[in-house]
Amino acid sequence: MTTSDNSALVSIIIPAYNRGKYIHRAIESSLRQTYTNIEIIIIDDGSKDNTFEIAKIYEAKDKRVKVFHQDNAGVSAARNYGIREAQGDYITFLDSDDWLEDNAVKFLLDKQLQYSDKLIIASNREVFMRGDGTMYYYQRRDEESRQQIFSNIEETLQNWRNLHLASSCYKIFQMSIIRSHNLKFKEGINNHEDGLFVFEYLHYVNGVYYENQQIYTALKHFQNSTFSMNTRKLIESLTEADKIMMAYPGNTPIIMEYLKIMHVGSICHFSRRAIETGASKDEIKYIRDDLRKYFDFAIHSPQVSIKTKISLYVILYMPSFVGQYCITPLWSFLKMIRDLFMKKVEVSGQ
């Protein structure tokens, strides 16, 4: 097995917008990496708080930290800025309110050197923040370290959700592939832009190596940009990203099938939240019009889960005001059941 020997430079790209309360965790976790030949590229996306000033303090202390500023243009533009400035042989992405385990970069790089023709994917844990600032996560049942290898894009897309392909984080990308194929995030798309980038990258590797090694912690709170958008803009952005994927040259019928399954699943997921939070009639109509295009396909496809099929019927045929008053109590009940079977673990301040 090939292991990293500090000869390869790894760039950690951190886009940041108004994350002065959290960005220290992201930077400090990067600086603690056991693999030390790294550069930390921070792109301040026009923050109105002290995010930029905090990042500059770290830049003054450690030459591996490099801080840049741009007028507010969105996370895709910030990541693209980071890619342009990065000098690394490999890159990995870290959101500014999340943090890495100390061995994250070493783990990803070791696996990349061992499986040089594949996209390397690890796992994460989700930490939830209460209103008072304390944090917790749900302790799942112990499971053995699981490794999976997929040899092509069709096999990979079949496992889209299990492989966390909708996120660009807890993965490592080869800069040579990004440069030679001019891969970048689509600016102006603010939802599913990660999935689009990963999808395009998958065309230039031979599948995926996945291991459920938790190397990344994702902080979940109500300031997440995904849910600060209004429902229609969110769905429009997601749909635009999916349309680009479906129009990608060289898509096989199998790829198209899994892209449609992915799209229906994503729309159903966000539609539940839209109905729960009382989206407008126009927003609900927009969602339903989109889902009707895929209804026959989804209902008859054996690859679409029963859960998604039931969601389709509920979203399309249940009056939205009924859904609003039914979904919230049901969601609360399911959370209560989850709490009974999963241990809630408090997280100490980072």
- Are 8 and 83 within 8 A, CB to CB? no
What is the tally of structural domains in the chain? 2
In DSSP terms, which residues pair with 137 in a beta bridge?
A: 345
Q: Give the end of a domain, one of 175, 195, 223.
A: 223
Residues 319 and 198 placed together within one structural domain of the fold: no
Residues 183 and 286 placed together within one structural domain of the fold: no
Q: Which residues of the chain have pLDDT under 50?
A: 223-229
279: Cβ–Cβ under 8 A, 6 or more apart, which residues? Answer: 231, 287, 320
Residues 119 and 166 placed together within one structural domain of the fold: yes
Residues 23 and 158 placed together within one structural domain of the fold: yes
What domain range is 97 assigned to? 10-223
Q: Give the end of a domain, one of 200, 223, 246.
A: 223
Query: Any idea what the CATH number is for the domain that residue 172 is in?
Result: 3.90.550.10
Residues 49 and 85 placed together within one structural domain of the fold: yes
Residues 20 and 129 placed together within one structural domain of the fold: yes
Q: Which two tokens stand for residue 293?
A: 């295009």
Residue 336 three-state SS: helix
What is the pLDDT at residue 221? 67
What is the pLDDT at residue 44? 98
Q: Which two tokens stand for residue 272?
A: 């539940």
Residues 173 and 246 placed together within one structural domain of the fold: no
Q: Give the end of a domain, one of 223, 250, 278.
A: 223
Residues 217 and 104 placed together within one structural domain of the fold: yes
346 inside domain: no
2 inside domain: no
Query: Of the candidates 128, 71, 280, 255, which has an alpha carbon nearest to the alpha carbon of residue 288?
Result: 280
Residues 239 and 216 placed together within one structural domain of the fold: no
Task: Calculate helix-pair angle for 281-292, 231-246, nearest 10 degrees.
Answer: 20
Residues 164 and 266 placed together within one structural domain of the fold: no
336 inside domain: yes
pTM for the complete prediction? 0.87
What is the pLDDT at residue 226? 44
